[in-house]
Amino acid sequence: DGAEPLGFPIPANVHAEKVISVRHYTDRLFSFRITRPQSLRFRSGEFVMIGLPNAEKPIFRAYSVASPAWDDELEFFSIKVPDGPLTQHLQKVQPGDTVIMRQKPTGTLVLDALTPARRLFMISTGTGIAPFASLLRDPDTYEKFERVVLTHTCRDKAELVYGQELVAGLQTDPLIGELTHGRVTLYNSTTREDSPRMGRITALIGSGKFYADLGLEKLDPETDRVMICGSMHMLKDVKELVETMGFREGSLSQPASVVVERAFVG
Ligand code: A2P
C-alpha cells in the first residue's frame, strides 16, 4: 500500500504485510503471524523470502510458511540471532508493524515430490519444524498418507513447546480435527537439557529406540516416505542414514521417497 513505516520506500514487486501477533517461546525462538496477500498461492511446505522495510536495500531471508495453504494469515517460526542481519531486528516486531515478502514461494518439502506410500515421517530439529506445521494442517497430507510421524529434537524442553502445541491443536481444529484423529504421532527429544527422552534423532533411529518407543515397524522405502528439515549437518546425517535404508531423494519433476530442506536463517 506504499506505506513507508521507517522512512524507507517499499521495494517494487514485494508484498507489504502487517504483523498480527508475535509469540516468544525462548530467548532463541519466536513465532509471528502476518496478513496474507490476496494473490499469494503456495503449496504447504514451501518457503518465502521475508524482510523488513528498514533499509534502502532490505535484507531478505528464507522462511518456511508454518501455516497451511488454506489459512488467511501466514505464520512463521524463527530463530533469534543476536547479530543476525535480519533476525536481530525481526525478533522485535510488534503487531501492526510492516513485514515485506518477495512474491514467489518455492521449496522441495512438498507432497507432490513424494510418491504414494502408507506412512510419512517428518524429521525436524529446531525451527526445521516450520514446514511440517504447515503440512500437518493440510488435508492433502491425510489424503496421501494413512499415518504421520513428526519428530522434533531441540536443545531444551522449552524449544519443544511450539510443536507440542501444534500437534495438540490438531485434535481441536474444526477443519482438520476429525481427519487427523489418531493418525499423527509426535516424537520429541532434547540434547542439552534433561528430559524424558534425550538424544539426537539420528542416534535414536540408529539404535532402534525410536521404533521401540513408538511400537513402529522399521523405516522402509516400500511403505514409507521421509521429509527432513533442520541444520545443514542434521540434513546431511539424516539423509545419509535413510539412504542406507534405500530411500532416494525426490523432486517435483521426479518424485521419490525422501525430500530435504535446510531450516534457513542464521
Ligand atoms: P546437539 O545439541 O547435540 O547439537 P540447533 O538449535 O543448533 O539447530 O540444534 C537443534 C537440534 O539439532 C539440537 O538438539 C542438536 O543437537 C540437533 N543436531 C545438531 N546437529 C545434528 C546432526 N548432525 N544430526 C542430528 N541432530 C543434530
Count of other CB atoms within 10 angstroms of residue 158: 15
pLDDT of residue 191: 98
Query: SS3 for 126?
Result: helix
Residues 142 and 219 in one domain: yes
Find the domain containing 89 and state its range. Answer: 14-102
Residues 141 and 257 in one domain: yes
For ligand 1, is residue 114 a contact (CB within 6 Å)?
no
Strand partners, 202: none
Residues 96 and 117 in one domain: no
Strand partners, 99: 17
The amino acid that residue 59 corresponds to is I
Q: Quick one: which atom of ligand 1 is closest to the CA of 189?
A: 14
**Is there a contact between 254 and 105 (Cβ–Cβ < 8 Å)?**
no
Ligand 1 centroid distance, CA of 44 (Å): 24
Cα(170)–Cα(181) distance, integer angstroms: 8
Residues 72 and 193 in one domain: no
For ligand 1, is residue 69 a contact (CB within 6 Å)?
no
Residues 160 and 48 in one domain: no
Question: For a substitution probing ligand 1, which of 123, 200, 232, 265 has the most ligand atoms within 8 Å of its CB?
Answer: 200
Ligand 1 centroid distance, CA of 153 (Å): 7
Residues 121 and 238 in one domain: yes
Which of these three, 102, 135, 169, is where a domain ends?
102
For ligand 1, is residue 200 a contact (CB within 6 Å)?
yes
Beta strand residue intervals within the chain, DSSP E: 14-24, 29-35, 47-51, 60-64, 73-79, 98-102, 119-125, 147-154, 184-190, 224-230, 258-262
pLDDT of residue 5: 54
The verdict on residue 212 lying in a domain is yes
The verdict on residue 22 lying in a domain is yes
Residues 205 and 245 in one domain: yes
For ligand 1, is residue 125 a contact (CB within 6 Å)?
yes
Q: Quick one: which atom of ligand 1 is closest to the CA of 233?
A: 23
The verdict on residue 48 lying in a domain is yes
Residues 143 and 213 in one domain: yes
For the chain, how many structural domains are there in total?
2
Which of these three, 102, 125, 140, is where a domain ends?
102
Q: How many H-runs (helices) and E-runs (strands) does the chain carry? A: 8, 11
pLDDT of residue 6: 58
The protein residue with its alpha carbon nearest to ligand 1, atom 23, reads 234
pLDDT by residue for the chain (266 residues), tens only, comes to 444 555 688 888 899 999 999 999 999 999 999 999 989 999 999 999 999 999 889 999 999 999 999 999 999 999 999 999 999 999 999 999 999 999 999 999 999 999 999 999 999 999 999 999 999 999 999 999 999 999 999 999 999 999 999 999 999 999 999 999 999 999 999 999 999 999 999 999 999 999 999 999 999 999 999 999 999 999 999 999 999 999 999 999 999 999 999 987 65
Q: Quick one: which atom of ligand 1 is closest to the CA of 200?
A: 26
Query: SS3 for 9?
Result: coil
| CATH number reported for the structural domain that contains residue 199 in this entry | 3.40.50.80
ipTM for the predicted complex comes to: 0.98
| CATH number reported for the structural domain that contains residue 88 in this entry | 2.40.30.10
Cα 8–chain centre separation: 31
pLDDT of residue 80: 96
Residues 132 and 200 in one domain: yes
Which of these three, 102, 125, 143, is where a domain ends?
102
